[in-house]
Chain A
Amino acid sequence: MSEALVYWLQQVLNALQLGSIYALIALGYTLVYGILTMINFAHGDVFMVGAFFCFLSAVYLGLPFVPTLLLTILGTALLGVLIERLAYKPLRHAPRVSAVITALGVGLFLENFTLALAPYPKNVPALLDNVTWDLGGVSLSSLQVIIIFLSLGLMLVLDHVVHRTPVGMAMRAISWDRTFVPLMGVPVNTIISVTFAIGAGLAGAAGTMYALAYPVIDPYMGIMVGWKAFISAVVGGIGNIRGAMIGAFLLGGVEIMVTAFFPSTYRDFVAFTLLLLLILVRPYGILGQPRTQKV
Chain B
Amino acid sequence: MSAPLAPAAEARLAPAAEAQLEVRDLTLSYDGIRALHGVSFTVGAGEIVTLVGANGAGKTSVLRAISGLAPFGGSIRFEGQDLRRVPAHRIVGLGIAHVPEGRGVFGNLTVHENLRLATWQRRDRAGIEADLERVLGTFPRLRERLRQPAGTLSGGEQQMLAVGRALMSRARLLLLDEPSMGLSPRLVQEIFRVIEEINRSGVTVLLVEQNANMALHVASRAYVLETGAVTLSGTGPELRGDPRVREAYLGA
Contact = CB atoms under 8 A, between A and B. Distances in A.
Contacts of A179: 69, 100, 104
Contacts of A188: 89
Interface string B123-143: 000000000000000000000
B202 interface: no
A185 B108 contact: no
B25 interface: no
A292 B117 CA distance: 22
A172 B150 CA distance: 13
Interface in B101-128: 102, 104, 106-109, 113, 116-118, 120-121
Interface string A263-295: 000000000000000000000000000001011
A85 B59 CA distance: 34
A170 B120 contact: yes
A259 B42 CA distance: 74
Contact of A183 (B97, B109, B116, B151): B97
A169 interface: yes
B140 to A, nearest CB: 23
A166 B120 contact: yes
* Most chain A CB neighbours (cut-off 10 Å) among B104, B109, B151, B165: B104
Contacts of A180: 98, 100, 104
Contacts of B68: 182
A173 interface: yes
Contacts of B118: 184-185
A82 to B, nearest CB: 22
A166 B89 contact: no
Q: Is the interface of A mostly helix, strand, loop or mixed?
A: helix
Interface string B81-98: 000000111111100011
Contact of B89 (A176, A177, A186, A292): A186
B90 to A, nearest CB: 8
B100 A185 contact: no
Given A182-B88, A183-B98, A176 B108 contact: yes
Given A180-B104, A295-B155, A185 B92 contact: yes
A179 to B, nearest CB: 7
A181 to B, nearest CB: 8
A182 B106 contact: no
Contacts, number: 74
A62 interface: no
B67 interface: yes
Interface residues of B, number: 30
Contacts of B169: 184-185
A187 B92 CA distance: 11
* Most chain B CB neighbours (cut-off 10 Å) among A180, A292, A295: A180
A294 B150 CA distance: 12
Contact of B109 (A169, A182, A185, A187): A169
B56 interface: no
B117 A186 contact: yes
Interface string A183-198: 1111110000000000
B237 interface: no
A169 B117 contact: yes
Nearest to B151: A292
A266 B90 CA distance: 56
B182 interface: yes
Given A177-B104, A180-B104, A185 B113 contact: no
B77 to A, nearest CB: 20
Contacts of B106: 172-173, 176-177
A177 B102 CA distance: 12
Contacts of A292: 107, 151
Contacts of A114: none
* Most chain A CB neighbours (cut-off 10 Å) among B120, B121, B155: B120
A184 B87 CA distance: 12
A236 B100 CA distance: 34
A176 B107 contact: yes
Interface of A: 166, 169-170, 172-173, 175-177, 179-180, 182-188, 292, 294-295
Q: Which 10 A-B pairs have the closest CB atoms?
A: A182-B88, A180-B104, A185-B121, A185-B92, A185-B120, A182-B89, A173-B106, A176-B106, A187-B89, A184-B117
20 contacts: A166-B120, A172-B108, A172-B113, A176-B109, A180-B98, A180-B100, A180-B104, A182-B67, A182-B89, A183-B67, A183-B69, A183-B100, A184-B89, A184-B120, A184-B165, A184-B169, A185-B120, A185-B169, A186-B89, A292-B151
